[in-house]
Structure 1
Amino acid sequence: MEEEREVKPIKRGRLRLAAGISYYRMKRYASWVVNGRHFASVRSASPLPHLHKRHQTPLLRQLKDVEMWMQHNKVTNLRLAIERINGIVIRPGETFSYWKLIGKPTRRKGYLEGMLLSHGRVLSGVGGGLCQLSNLIYWMTLFTPLTVTERHRHSYDVFPDSRRTQPFGSGATCFYNYLDLQIANRTNQAFQLCLWLTDSDLVGEWRAELPPTRRYEVYEKEHWITPAIWGGYERHNLLYRRVYDLEGAYIGDEFITENHAYMMYEPLLPGSSQQ
């Protein structure tokens, strides 16, 4: 686990940020070629027979200081990204890479300006809003025997917990291409990711060749909000999952991840967590 942090958030200059992005993008391109992993690349229009996890999230949410045109543009961005990964089959020994499959979101491909979060600020950028898709995939994966090998979380907690139904820190942020979501299939069967949009929701499923043999329950520990010496607040928790067989017998408890974030709102605002 990470040590507790009492460090003021670092603000870097624009040129340094641009140089850093270029460096890490080139590093990612190289890793796709030379790291020895077998990346999933085959898609199938026929869904595998057994459902392991299904989840959906609303497409449009009224967020503080976020104009709704960003939300509507996000729907277009999600539709384009889904076209690249819907039906992808991850065979045993393969790894799912979010950005390797989707590619760089650009205007030329039809992507629109949507909401981006950068150092605690809400900005607009081409392809904005695709974090909703990576969040959904990550959350569903926690209820399967697949293994998350790379996941990132925002360092800033921007919005209060109004109507939050999942534990804090249960998403996966993405930024092309170095903040990737990668999921390895270390089982003996193929899994398939199915995604689609309804009029109101983003919907996803993990399906497989064989039926599930386990049931998972994700929960948090050590959730606290503490004042920081730099003047703001920091938030922390640990995510775990309990594992049961299909008859409900307890099998074990598995650590998932540890989350830290700088809070960008007062923690006792209405609708925010008071833990």
Structure 2
Amino acid sequence: MNIYQHFRPEERDYIDQVMQWKNTVELQYAPKLTDFLDPREQHILKTIIGENGDVKYQLFGGWPGAERKRALLFPEYLVPVQEDFQISLFEIDYPKKFIKIEHPNVLGTLMSLGLKRGKFGDILVDDEQIQFLAAKEIGGYISTNLESIGKATVHLFEKPPENIISPKELWEEHELTVSSLRLDTVISGVYNLSRQKSQNYIAAGLVKVNWTQIESPAFVCEIGDMLSVRGHGRVRLSGIEGKTKKEKWRISVGRQK
């Protein structure tokens, strides 16, 4: 069976990596812990590893509602525990009376430290309280090097897992019709933009599908895709309901409030 046919061409390198992880666990008969994976990467891993083989997997991101999770691949003799995922929880202390820090500010600062996105999990914001999850192996580096976010001096405190906050994500479901499932057409319909403006956003590198920048307006969207346009928020394509009598596609989307 050709495993690649079930996924998009641009996902081939990641598929090869998952296969390599699986083979390593089989050959060494020892567990393999990955970096944090986005939901699309988790889906691919689950599909490739399966549920009935000699190699098992578990996913954990530090809290029950985690979007980004580390995967632990392991032989069937092993019974994983939470500590095996090697996740650290950090809270950011900053001058709340004088400055507002938001999710993009935190992510931008973490990325500026020269570390891969896969080394960080979710960034949690609940009113003025901000936390983030990170791979334990880089905890010391972050603590030493993260001293400011923007113009604000900040202090990091590592917290025990039970101190994690659980912000609520709210999604509104909408139904609409689009003339095709091309990325520029779906974005135009979902965000109420002109087709030309949608294409301009794509050309400018402001559009991502499943956390990956897409530069082709002809990219075909599928059920489960997470779309984002910088400055316009995220949308999840939750259903494709078929065609209308006028040959338009009926789709349902969840839009983050």
Same fold (TM over 0.5): no
Task: Kindly indicate which of the two structures has a greater share of residues assigned to helix.
Answer: 2
When Rg is computed on C-alpha atoms for both structures, the one with the higher figure is 2
TM-score when normalising by structure 2: 0.25
TM-score when normalising by structure 1: 0.24
